[in-house]
Amino acid sequence: MQIIPIHISKEIELGDDLSELITNSVEVKDNDILVIAQKVISKQEGRIVNLSSVFPSLLAKGISSQYKKNPQIVELILSESKKIVRMYDGIIIVETKAGFICANAGIDESNVKNGYATLLPEDSDSSAKKIKNEILKKTGHVVSVIISDTFGRPFRMGQTNCAIGISGIKPILDYAGTEDNFGNIMRVTAIAIADEICGCAELVMGKTTKCPVVIIRNYEYQKDSSSIRELIRLEKEDLFR
């Protein structure tokens, strides 16, 4: 298996052709998996907000005062969320409109101009599918695309990259019903390969290397028209909500 970084020096802006930038930087091949950082998708789709244009509500002002956070950021968190899951020591964990449980609704002030923040894509599956189709049209090669973002994890220190949008790849490798090396039937083992691929890509992506896209090549995976929702645990099955 190969992990191939794609360095793009251009600062991504609204309307840029990401598929063109990718195919001009590297030769893609059939069955490649392209892992693309959420930040460049958000920039290309115009999901950037000038904080001076955000007017905090009374609720946002109250939370920001209690948790020492920028009230404009808190207002954006509230507007991008279905509900607040936990608030503690300046940390706001929410359920986003797409169903992700994450800090600050994925809103980020890094790698953008001062006074601005990026929001998560409105529909990351659609973003991934669009790039997949554009690359097929430009090159004739069938690839799969994963949109990745950095999430924290309960019970573990540090952060890791996770999939927030997919196209062309089944995100879970389910071993249920197969035998292990001792002939035992596995019943609940399901590997979140989309997340593992994102973690693999992060090893070369970094945060300051201008490498927003990574190709994973020669990895065997199941092609599928799945949605990222297959990776989201239902609340009724979540022991901690």
pLDDT tens digit sequence for 213-223: 999 999 999 99
Alpha-carbon gap, residue 54 to 152, rounded angstroms = 26
Average per-residue pLDDT for the chain:
92
CA nearest neighbour of 221 among 202, 205, 197: 197
Residue pair 179/186 in contact (Cβ under 8 Å)? The answer is yes
CATH number of 1-45+121-235: 3.30.1330.100
Least confident range from 2-16, 45-59, 160-174, 175-189: namely 175-189
Query: What element of type H or E holds 164?
Result: strand 156-167
pLDDT at 110 over 60: yes
pLDDT at 208 over 60: no
Alpha carbons 60 and 35: distance in angstroms, whole number: 34
Shortest CA distance to 124 belongs to which of 216, 28, 51, 226?
Answer: 226
According to the model, what pLDDT value does residue 181 have?
A: 76
Same fold, 1-45+121-235 and 48-120: no
d(CA 223, CA 10): 31
Contacts of 178 (CB under 8 A, 6+ apart): 185, 186
Please determine, for residue 127, whether its predicted confidence score (pLDDT) is greater than 70: yes
The pLDDT value recorded for residue 9 is 84
What φ, ψ does residue 227 adopt, rounded to 5°? -115, 155
The pLDDT value recorded for residue 48 is 95
Residue 209 has pLDDT above 80, yes or no: no
The string of pLDDT tens digits covering residues 72-87 is: 999 999 999 999 999 9
Where b means 16+ CB within 10 Å and e means fewer, 36-65 reads bbbbbbbbbbebbbebeebebeeebeebbe
Instruction: Output the pLDDT for position 190.
Output: 86
Q: Classify residue 136 as exposed, middle or buried by CB count within 10 Å of its CB (0-12, 13-18, 19+).
A: middle
What average pLDDT does range 117-138 have in this prediction?
96
Question: What pLDDT band is residue 89 in, cutting at 50, 70 and 90?
Answer: confident
Percent of the chain with pLDDT over 70: 97
pLDDT at 198 over 90: yes
What number of CA atoms fall less than 13 Å from residue 231's CA on the CB side? 24
Torsion sign over Cα 94, 97, 101, 107: negative
Sequence letter at residue 59: L
Average pLDDT over residues 4-27: 92
Question: At residue 186, does pLDDT exceed 70?
Answer: no
Please report the pLDDT score of residue 238 as a whole number.
87
H-type alpha helices, 68-147: 71-79, 124-139
Structure confidence at residue 13 (pLDDT): 92
Q: Which class for 4: exposed (0-12), middle (13-18), buried (19 or more C-beta within 10 A)?
A: middle
Domain boundaries, the chain: 1-45+121-235, 48-120
The single-letter DSSP state of residue 47 is -
Q: Are 83 and 94 in contact (CB under 8 A)?
A: yes
Q: How confident is the model at residue 153 (pLDDT cuts 50, 70, 90)?
A: confident
Domain 48-120 has CATH 2.160.20.10: no
Q: Return the DSSP state at 104.
A: G
